[in-house]
Amino acid sequence: MASVITKAVRIHANGGVEQLSYEDVEVGDPGAGQVRIRNTAIGLNFIDVYFRTGLYPAPSLPLTLGFEAAGVVDAVGEGVSHVKVGDRVAYCQGPHGAYAGYKLHPASQVIKLPKFVTDEQAAASMLKGLTVQYLFRQTYRLQGGETILFHAAAGGVGLIACQWAKALKVKLIGTVSSAEKAAIAKAHGAWETINSKTENIAERVSALTKGAKCPVVYDSVGKDTWMASLDSVQQRGLVVSYGNASGPVDGVNIGILAAKGSLFLTRPTLGTHVNTLEKLQAAADDLFAMVKSKKIKLEVASTYPLAEVGRAHTQLESRATTGATVLLP
């Protein structure tokens, strides 16, 4: 084995897309418990923007961005047995560095891909699909028959959620920001949609549920939808805040949970739900079973060359995207 020189997108300081630098980096041999992967498709996610801007602090700078990719195992380190050189694999958590042609990664966070999932589909869906898996099957295990509120229903996570909810016989009310996005969400299985730009979310939820509201609300938007989420959940219901697309929710007096009806609030992450290879594999098996049964279709809405990642970030931040975006090294 020998180290490789590859192109990567790094930041040397936090800030706007002008901080994204496309440059050469050296990727060494895998150590014990590691694999080296030749990335073929890279997932674009809002968490990448959070680390670029500094909303989430970088472990150190310069930093190669990205958590999610699919590719081929190029080399394996000592003690790795569940994957081998030549295997098609994917990952969606762990150390930064997916925005590159090659990456060293802990083998315990890598799974083999089934033949019916393409590399681009995997890069578009591993983080997003496993997010829906833990939201719907672990954080709050939907039983069927519920009516739920899911923000950003036409995004990459949202479109998988729409399909999964429909498969579970759950009525998903999805918030969107345009009529076009409403049509896309409904085509993917949303029961109803609410245009957050023109409608009062909580009032529409109350009307759609005949005043009953929802037992659980899934909120990846953050600051802009915080109060609407609290006002859309039933007494003793659960608000699942798992993202900050509009900015973080801060300065909250937890007494508001009592005032709104003894509500429960959680701020979960994927990493704490799939913190072992066994749990990661089980969650992925659940996702892939839904794909194989054709209850969920993994779609790639758009692709960009890795060198044009700034343009992709701009589109994502402006909420101009629908579905999943993939970067090609």
For the stretch 97-108, pLDDT in tens is 999 999 999 999
- Other C-beta atoms closer than 10 Å to the C-beta of 183 total 14
- 156-167 and 277-292 helices cross at what angle (nearest 10)? 70
- What pLDDT is stored for residue 278 in this prediction? 96
Position 2 scores a pLDDT of 83
**Alpha carbon distance, N-terminus to C-terminus of the chain:** 22
Looking at residue 247, its pLDDT comes to 83
Written as six digits, the tokens of 178 are: 């345009």
CATH class of the domain whose range is 4-117+298-328? alpha beta
Closest CA to 127 of 157, 152, 99: 157
pLDDT tens, position by position, 185-220 = 999 999 999 999 999 999 999 999 999 999 999 999
Q: Could you say which architecture CATH assigns to the domain 126-270?
A: 3-Layer(aba) Sandwich (3.40)
What are the pLDDT digits (tens) for 293-326?
Answer: 999 999 898 999 999 999 999 998 887 777 789 9
- Out of 83-92, 162-171, 246-255, least confident range: 246-255
Tell me how far apart the alpha carbons of residues 329 and 310 are, in angstroms, rounded to a whole number.
14
Who's near 168: CB < 8 A, 6+ residues apart?
136, 142, 144
Domain boundaries, the chain: 4-117+298-328, 126-270
254: pLDDT strictly greater than 80: yes
What local confidence, expressed as pLDDT, does residue 120 receive? 96
Q: Alpha-carbon distance 121 to 70, whole Å?
A: 9
Mean pLDDT over each residue of the chain, to the nearest integer: 95
Residue 166 has pLDDT above 80, yes or no: yes
pTM over 0.75: yes
Task: Report how far residue 149's alpha carbon sits from residue 28's, in angstroms, rounded to the nearest whole number.
Answer: 46
pLDDT band for position 112 (cuts 50, 70, 90): very high
- Residue 194 confidence (pLDDT): 98
In the chain, where does DSSP find H-type helix? Answer: 46-53, 119-134, 156-167, 179-187, 201-208, 226-230, 255-259, 270-273, 277-292, 309-317
CA 156 – CA 152 distance, rounded (Å): 9
Average pLDDT over residues 128-142: 97
Given this model, what pLDDT does residue 256 score?
Answer: 96
Mean pLDDT throughout 67-96? 96
